[in-house]
A = this chain, B = another copy of it.
């Protein structure tokens, strides 16, 4: 049997590297009908902000070749409802939770982190993912993740709110000229890990109506079609770590993972854990299926430990 366990920091050893992707798994109850969410290495929840949010009008999705666009607009119950209802439920079924938090200002992020930390089910938390792909109200709506300074500020403030044994993961956007610059800024500001990648900015025109198909005009592109971009981002950042340009921290890979092979691809490029997002819409039990397939592949290749496969494609 391959040892699948992995330590992503803070001394929380996860039984395996498979996770849900934020926003593609809601907060657990729905997928728990298909598989036991505590079988995952960690459950990443939908990005939560301070207050309840309705999200955007509809249509909120458009199907694309080997992927989809979404413009949900971070619909959610707000952090209070999250810590009162969702987090305790996840704890009750034994899930290890990686909450994803968001904000329109760096102080909102900090407030959400502080509320989380003070909550009764915080014990279930093994890390916090900071979704910095949000429009920054203070900067004409430019998303935090496109600006190293704004990203660093959010990460530093969130880091301050959380205990040391809770690693903070900065979730990066691929829509930048140089992702290693953003990665470096986040790690220097205190991120103990990076999640790559969030969706690509995209758009579909409804040619029947000759207008943008999404209510929100543009949306986030996800799914297998973007996997090569995710693998490249992971590779580049990991390479920068090898070259000493960024301190070495764990990378969580996400973007178009459909099979165990896809997961292994990201692992070989440098990911220490894997999230499955859009493919859940195709196959609700994809996260556990991918885990099984990954395990079989590692076994066939003669690996004793999952962690031995991390970043092996570098320097070959």
A interface residue numbers (CB < 8 A to B): 62, 64-67, 69, 146, 175-178, 200-205, 207, 209-212, 217-219, 221, 223-229, 231-232, 235, 256, 258, 261, 264-265, 268-269, 297, 301, 309, 312-313, 316
Asked if B66 and A66 sit within 8 Å, CB to CB, the answer is yes
Tell me, in angstroms, the Cα distance from A184 to B205 when the chains sit together. Answer: 24
Contacts of A217 in B (CB 8 A): 235
Contacts of A229 in B (CB 8 A): 200-202, 221
Closest B residue by C-beta to A209: B316
Closest B residue by C-beta to A219: B228
Tell me, in angstroms, the Cα distance from A227 to B316 when the chains sit together. Answer: 32
Contacts of A210 in B (CB 8 A): 268, 301, 309, 312-313, 316
A144 to chain B, nearest CB (A): 12
A10 to chain B, nearest CB (A): 29
Q: Which 4 A-B pairs have the closest CB atoms?
A: A225-B225, A202-B228, A65-B224, A66-B66
Which of B178, B226, B297 is close to A207, meaning CB atoms less than 8 Å apart?
B297
Interface centre among A175, A264, A301 (most CB of B within 10 A): A175
Tell me, in angstroms, the Cα distance from A205 to B312 when the chains sit together. Answer: 10
Asked if B227 and A64 sit within 8 Å, CB to CB, the answer is yes
| Given known A-B contacts A66-B225, A227-B65, A256-B65, A201 and B313 have beta carbons under 8 A apart | no
Closest B residue by C-beta to A239: B217
| Given known A-B contacts A146-B177, A221-B229, A207 and B65 have beta carbons under 8 A apart | no
Tell me, in angstroms, the Cα distance from A229 to B202 when the chains sit together. Answer: 4
Q: List 28 A-B contacts (CB under 8 A).
A: A64-B224, A64-B227, A64-B228, A65-B67, A65-B225, A65-B258, A66-B67, A67-B228, A146-B177, A176-B177, A200-B200, A201-B229, A201-B232, A202-B228, A202-B229, A202-B232, A203-B269, A204-B228, A205-B313, A207-B268, A207-B297, A210-B309, A211-B268, A212-B316, A218-B232, A224-B225, A225-B225, A225-B226
Tell me, in angstroms, the Cα distance from A65 to B177 when the chains sit together. Answer: 24
Tell me, in angstroms, the Cα distance from A224 to B226 when the chains sit together. Answer: 11
Contacts of A65 in B (CB 8 A): 66-67, 223-225, 227, 256, 258
Asked if A265 and B205 sit within 8 Å, CB to CB, the answer is yes
Contacts of A301 in B (CB 8 A): 210
A169 to chain B, nearest CB (A): 22
Tell me, in angstroms, the Cα distance from A221 to B174 when the chains sit together. Answer: 14
Contacts of A201 in B (CB 8 A): 229, 232
Contacts of A312 in B (CB 8 A): 210
Interface centre among A221, A261, A297 (most CB of B within 10 A): A221
